Amino acid sequence: MQVNSLPVVIETITLLLKDSIKDLRNLSTDPTSPSSKKNTPIPALDRTIGNIQLQSTKLALARFSSSVNADASQYSNSQENEKALAGCLEQIALLVALLRQQVLETRGRSEMPFIIESICQTRRNKCVDLFSALEKLVDEVGVGKIKKTTTTTKDREISSDMLRQMMDSLDLQEQEQETEESTEESTEEYKYVSAGIVIAQCKSFQRFEKELLAQDSNLALATITKHIASKMSMYKLMLLDAKSDLQEFITDPQSSLSMNDFDDFDNFSSSDDDDNDEQEADEYFDETGTPTAKTANLLTQAKLWSTKINLISVLFASVLKRRVVFDYTLSLFQSHNLESLALFLNAISTHASKTSEAIDDLASSILSGDMPSDLAKKKVLESSVGLAQVASETFQDEYCKWFVTWIDAFQKGL
């Protein structure tokens, strides 16, 4: 097969990667939509990803000097070297196009791994991350072969650390570089360090896909449950951050509100703007530093929602302990059906995400010196109560009553 010149290949794969990233980022997920290919085999994403890893490894070996790896000596001729690089990049371009198509084909599948919305989103994110890393790799190839650049001592030190990571990923024997003087040969050894990042991301992506498509359905279910639990734990940490900010505001409202002046600082502000700032400051504290009625109301809201966030954190902890665990999801799958399990996990993930987002918006409003709107309060109420309702109604057990009691406790005072 005739290999195109390296500049042509680089231009082609760069455009392909940009278009692929744009398509995946703008892709709307509808995991419950029917698929026209239900009876066809699931695309083997892990195989495609493995081939991208292989070609990235070949590209790295083709570029390194013989002092790093003996296999590179066969590419000592510059023309042969460019031909080898172009060949690797052409293969990667074909694999990128294939992987993008495979990710698109997994939408709306009836199989368990593909009907969990957050799984679909994670797969797309991993694909975008991989393509972004490939963009950097292609750019490094272009810089190294098309335009000559000067490597500073600082750049060499940074690149050296990255190179070690890549060599570890390739399972190759690392060799110490003892010379401090920069030579053309030694700087070549620090080229294309993005190959290591690509390889590491490929391995992570492959593990993710293989676990989801495991022959043992229990392993696949456990992986999905663990994935949702990880998302919920992240949302819970965001809740605790909002609570911490509110508590700081309650302890020292004057300092918290004055920080807004730094956030809105404008180097080009006029004296009129300064006068306006003083008038706004008067809204929160009088001449003696005593909080005004507006600040008192803000403090009341901060205390109320600090308490409510506490309750929501307890709810998240209970859902993680009693619902987003393998034993519960397995019981739900065995006693109901796959669709019920998917709806349950999607609902849990969606309500948790919306609750975290709503709390963040509400807390930000208070910290900015504004009373939280009725709409903001409504969003928190609907998403958090919705989470508790899903936990209490999906599958009847001895813990359902606790979630019902939580709803009554949370709604008091709102």
- CATH number of the domain that residue 324 is part of: 1.20.1410
- Angle, alpha carbons 355-357-361 (nearest 5°): 115
Tell me the average pLDDT across 140-152.
56
146 within a domain of the structure (yes/no): yes
Per-residue pLDDT band at 336 (split at 50, 70, 90):
confident
Contact between 339 and 110 (Cβ < 8 Å)? no
Residues 163, 23, single domain; the answer is: yes
Helix ranges (H only) for 26-152 are: 45-63, 78-105, 117-145
Radius of gyration for the alpha carbons in the chain, expressed in angstroms and rounded: 28
Report how far residue 352's alpha carbon sits from residue 346's, in angstroms, rounded to the nearest whole number.
10
Residues 339, 242, single domain; the answer is: yes
Domain containing residue 137: CATH number:
1.20.1420
Q: Which pLDDT score is estimated for 46?
A: 86
The candidate with the shortest Cα–Cα distance to 56, out of 85, 76, 94, 32, is 85
Residues 334, 377, single domain; the answer is: yes
Provide the whole-model pTM: 0.64
Tell me the average pLDDT across 189-206.
79
- Asked whether the predicted pLDDT for residue 399 surpasses 80, the reply is yes
Contact between 169 and 199 (Cβ < 8 Å)? yes
- Asked whether the predicted pLDDT for residue 184 surpasses 70, the reply is no
The candidate with the shortest Cα–Cα distance to 204, out of 46, 331, 95, is 46
Residues 234, 360, single domain; the answer is: yes
318 within a domain of the structure (yes/no): yes
Classify residue 60 as exposed, middle or buried by CB count within 10 Å of its CB (0-12, 13-18, 19+): buried
Residues 280, 361, single domain; the answer is: yes
400 within a domain of the structure (yes/no): yes
Domain that holds residue 390: 229-259+272-411
Residues 406, 317, single domain; the answer is: yes
- DSSP letter assigned to residue 110: S
267 within a domain of the structure (yes/no): no
Contact between 206 and 49 (Cβ < 8 Å)? yes
Residues 43, 190, single domain; the answer is: yes
> Which residue has tokens 């080229």?
191
406 within a domain of the structure (yes/no): yes
349 contacts: CB under 8 Å, gap ≥ 6: 116, 117, 118, 228, 231, 232
222 within a domain of the structure (yes/no): no
Return the amino acid letter for 165.
Q
Q: Which pLDDT score is estimated for 144?
A: 61
Q: Which pLDDT score is estimated for 21?
A: 93
| Mean of all residue pLDDT scores within the chain | 77
Residues 206, 235, single domain; the answer is: no
177 within a domain of the structure (yes/no): no
Q: What percent of the chain has pLDDT over 90?
A: 42
218 within a domain of the structure (yes/no): no
Tell me the average pLDDT across 213-223.
75
Residues 307, 375, single domain; the answer is: yes
187 contacts: CB under 8 Å, gap ≥ 6: 151, 156
Report how far residue 363's alpha carbon sits from residue 255's, in angstroms, rounded to the nearest whole number.
16
Q: Which pLDDT score is estimated for 171?
A: 35
- Asked whether the predicted pLDDT for residue 239 surpasses 60, the reply is yes
Residues 198, 243, single domain; the answer is: no
Total count of domains within the chain: 2
Residues 391, 305, single domain; the answer is: yes
Cα distances (Å, whole numbers) of residue 397 to 76, 141, 253, 332, 342: 69, 59, 45, 11, 19
Classify residue 148 as exposed, middle or buried by CB count within 10 Å of its CB (0-12, 13-18, 19+): exposed
The candidate with the shortest Cα–Cα distance to 209, out of 120, 97, 330, 131, is 120
Residues 79, 110, single domain; the answer is: yes
- Asked whether the predicted pLDDT for residue 325 surpasses 80, the reply is yes
